[in-house]
Amino acid sequence: MDHTKKHLVRLRGVAGLLIAAIMTVSGCAASDGTTGAEPGSAASAVSLEFTAEALDGTPYDGEQLAGKPTVLWFWAPWCATCRAQTGGVEALAQQYAGRVNVVGVGGLADAADIRDFAGEVDGPTHLIDEEGAVWRHFNVTAQSTYLVLDADGVAVSEGFLDDDALAARVAELVG
């Protein structure tokens, strides 16, 4: 292969990688926020068997989420959409304190950036997922993603939700 062809092949490869990276980090989940499972349906529960680091540095066991509706909010500190969602997440966490688990899972950045962003969002429990282990556990591939679980741990909504849709979904679960 001559030099020009090698250069074109290399450029195509780089362009493909750049497009994939931009699509991964720039957008929000494309889902409409529903999974097809309704509260109380026969769908299987997700595994809450995970551990992470809480914002204060203590270990966090995902199994403590069992028995209550749960909102897992997967965010990144540099994500403009995630920043716009902070008011809605704070309001939700405060309104349902003690009745609904609201957990922010910060990832796709270093721990210091995750801590800085999480420090600006009152109400939810925040986890530092610098390596993306919790994101992978729940098959999350984009920020901002919500995973809403009923009290039995069944996913009732997954993907992007605006504040009103998230609040309505949680209100349905709480009754």
**The predicted structure's pLDDT at residue 20:** 33
15 Cα distance to chain centroid? 28
- Tens of pLDDT along the chain (175 residues) come to 554 433 333 333 333 333 333 333 444 433 444 444 444 444 789 999 999 999 999 999 999 999 999 999 999 999 999 999 999 999 999 999 999 999 999 999 999 999 999 999 999 999 999 999 999 999 999 999 999 999 999 999 999 999 999 999 999 999 8
Contact between residue 33 and residue 142 where contact means Cβ atoms under 8 Å apart: no
**The predicted structure's pLDDT at residue 154:** 97
**The predicted structure's pLDDT at residue 93:** 98
What is the domain partition of the chain in residue ranges? 29-174
What CATH number belongs to 29-174? 3.40.30.10
Question: Which pLDDT tens digit goes with each residue over 90-112?
Answer: 999 999 999 999 999 999 999 99
**The predicted structure's pLDDT at residue 66:** 97
Using DSSP, state whether 33 is helix, strand or coil.
coil
| Whole-angstrom distance, CA of residue 59 vs CA of residue 8 | 49
| Whole-angstrom distance, CA of residue 69 vs CA of residue 71 | 7
